[in-house]
Amino acid sequence: MRPSLQVYWRLLVRYLRPQLGQTLLLLLILCINILLQLINPLIMRRFLDSALAGDSMALLTRLALLFIGIAAVQQVTAVSSTVLAENVGWRATNALRRDLARHCLRLDLTFHQQHTPGEMIERIDGDINALTRFFAQLVVQLFGNGLLLIGVLVVLLREDLRVGGAFGVFVVVTLLVLGRLRNLAVPHWQRSREASARFFGFVEERLAGTEDIRASNARVFTLFRFHQLLRTFWQTTIRAELLGFSMINIAWFLFSIGAAISFVLGASLYFSGALTIGTVYLIFHYSNLITGPIERIAQEFEQFQRAGAGIARIQELFATESRLVETPAAAVGEDSRRGRDGAGPAGALAVEFEQVRFAYPTEAPPEEATAGLGQFALDGFQLRLEPKEVLGLLGRTGSGKTTLARLLLRLYDVDSGRVLVAGRDVRQWPLQALRAQVAMVTQNVQLFQASIRDNLTFFDRSVPDARIWEAIDTLGLAEWYASLGDGLDAQLQIGSGGLSAGESQLVAFTRIFLRDPGVIVLDEASSRLDPATEAFLERAVTRLLSDRTGILIAHRLATVQRADRIVIVENGEIREQGDRGVLALDPASHYHRLLRLGIEDMGIGDMDVEGLDR
pLDDT tens readout for residues 151-161 = 777 877 777 77
Task: Tally helices (H) and strands (E) across the chain.
Answer: 24, 10
| Number of residues that this document lists for the chain | 614
| Cα Rg, the chain, nearest whole Å | 35
3-state helix, strand and coil shares in percent for the chain, rounded to the nearest 5:
65, 10, 25
* Adjacent-strand bridge partners of 522: 441, 552
Cα dihedral across residues 325, 331, 336, 342: positive or negative: positive
Assess contact for 240 and 188: CB atoms under 8 A.
yes
CB-based contact 518:487 (threshold 8 Å): no
- Across 54-68, 381-395, 479-493, the highest mean pLDDT is recorded for 381-395
- Per-residue pLDDT of 434-452, as tens digits, reads 988 999 888 778 888 888 8
Picking from 223, 609, 185, the residue whose alpha carbon sits closest to that of residue 395 is 609
Task: Answer yes or no: is pLDDT of 410 > 70.
Answer: yes
Residues whose CB is less than 8 angstroms from the CB of residue 255 and which lie 6 or more positions away in sequence, other chains included: 291, 294, 295
375/360: higher pLDDT: 360
Residue 521's pLDDT band (boundaries 50, 70, 90)?
A: very high
Percent of the chain with pLDDT over 90: 10
**pLDDT: is 133 or 348 the higher one?**
348
What average pLDDT score do residues 265-283 get?
69
* Comma-separated ranges of CATH 3.40.50.300 domains in the chain: 335-609
Work out the mean pLDDT of the chain and round it to a whole number. Answer: 78
* pLDDT, tens digit, 9 for 90 and up, residues 194-251: 888 788 778 877 777 777 777 777 778 888 888 888 888 888 888 877 776 666 667 6
- Count CA within 13 A, CB hemisphere, residue 379: 14
Question: What is the distance between the alpha carbons of residues 376 and 422, in angstroms, rounded to a whole number?
Answer: 26
Report how far residue 41's alpha carbon sits from residue 534's, in angstroms, rounded to the nearest whole number.
83
Per-residue pLDDT, averaged over 522-531, amounts to 69
Q: What are phi and psi of 419, to 5 degrees?
A: -115, 120
Is 289 or 1 the better-scoring residue by pLDDT? 289
- Residue 16: C-alpha distances to residues 8, 9, 22 (Å): 12, 10, 9
Q: What is the rounded CA–CA span in Å between residue 408 and residue 400?
A: 12
Full 3-state SS string of 180-249? HCCCCCHHHHHHHHHHHHHHHHHHHHHHHCHHHHHHCCCHHHHHHHHHHHHHHHHHHHHHHHHHHHHHHH
∠ Cα 437 443 444 (to 5°): 95
Task: Provide CATH code, domain 335-609.
Answer: 3.40.50.300
Q: Does the structure show a pLDDT above 90 at 549?
A: yes
- What are the residues whose beta carbons fall under 8 Å from the beta carbon of 152, sequence distance 6 or more? 38, 167, 286, 289, 290
For domain 7-319, the question of CATH label 1.10.10.10 is answered with: no
Contact 141, 27 (CB under 8 A): no
Q: Where in the chain is the domain with CATH 1.20.1560.10?
A: 7-319
User: Measured between alpha carbons, how far is residue 75 from residues 34, 123, 133, 292 in Å?
Assistant: 11, 37, 21, 16
Band the pLDDT of 27: cuts 50, 70, 90: confident
- Please report, as a single letter, which amino acid is at residue 289: L
